[in-house]
Amino acid sequence: MKISVVVMLIGSLFAMPCLVLVRSVSCSSKSTGRVVSAKVSQEGMPDLLVKEISFEQSPAKIRVRILNQGNGSSSSCYLAVQSMAGNDPLLGTEQRVWTTQIPGLAAGKGYSNVLDVSPLKQVNGPWRAIVDRSNEVKESNENNNVLIYPTRNPGPLPPRRRPQALSPAIDSSNAP
């Protein structure tokens, strides 16, 4: 994520336009040629992620857990849960996305919600959950807002071969 902001540093005899790039500031004065540098941290930014998707006892209820693992509070946003079952007319509905509002979360806090996806059932997955679905919350990491459950199974892995114990070689040419 890049942040570009132009600021003015006011010194005792000069003002310098500065370009702020993510974590550093570099400024120069045309009159003196002096360069000033400083660090800029991203502290105070939220980082929302879908921590878990789990199934409740009812076959049409799905629990989604959200976590703000950032250093700052988030504003409220929306969570979307989507069935990725495709357009199967036998499922009894064309609805494949359910949305619910998530309250603002303080740094380190989580939120859990159960969604009723009737007439679909848990088996009509896999399921994808997207927190901050409209991308309205400015976060330190915008790339971890989606979780798919269950994850796709790549299939069975081939059996691991155990190393065989070394045995003395038998030389039949010297046999009695």
Q: Does position 38 have pLDDT exceeding 70, yes or no?
A: no
- The average pLDDT across 156-167 equals 60
State the pLDDT confidence band at 15, using cuts at 50, 70 and 90.
very low
SS3 letters for 83-135? ECCCCCHHHCCCCCEEEEEECCCCCCCEEEEEEECCCCCCCCCCEEEEECCCC
**What percent of the chain has pLDDT above 70?**
61
- Longest Cα pair distance anywhere in the chain, in angstroms? 103
Q: Does position 52 have pLDDT exceeding 60, yes or no?
A: yes
pTM of structure: 0.61
Q: Higher confidence at residue 150 or residue 15?
A: 150
108 token code pair: 């380190």
Pick from 24-28, 91-95, 145-149 the range whose average pLDDT is largest: 145-149
Helix (H, G, I), strand (E, B) or coil at 48: strand
Domain boundaries, the chain: 4-39, 48-149
CATH 1.10.8.80 fits 48-149, yes or no: no
Under a CB-based contact definition with an 8 Å cutoff, are residues 116 and 94 in contact? no
Helix (H, G, I), strand (E, B) or coil at 155: coil
Predicted pLDDT at 66? 97
Containing H/E element for 81? Answer: strand 77-83
Q: How far apart are CA 72 and CA 145, in angstroms?
A: 16
Close Cβ partners of 39 (under 8 Å, ≥ 6 residues apart): 23, 24, 25
Pick from 37-41, 64-68, 147-151 the range whose average pLDDT is largest: 64-68
Close Cβ partners of 29 (under 8 Å, ≥ 6 residues apart): 11, 14, 16
Predicted pLDDT at 153? 52
Q: What is the pLDDT of residues 61-116, one digit of tens each?
A: 999 999 999 999 999 999 999 998 877 778 877 778 999 999 999 999 999 999 99
Q: CB count, 10 Å around CB of 79?
A: 22
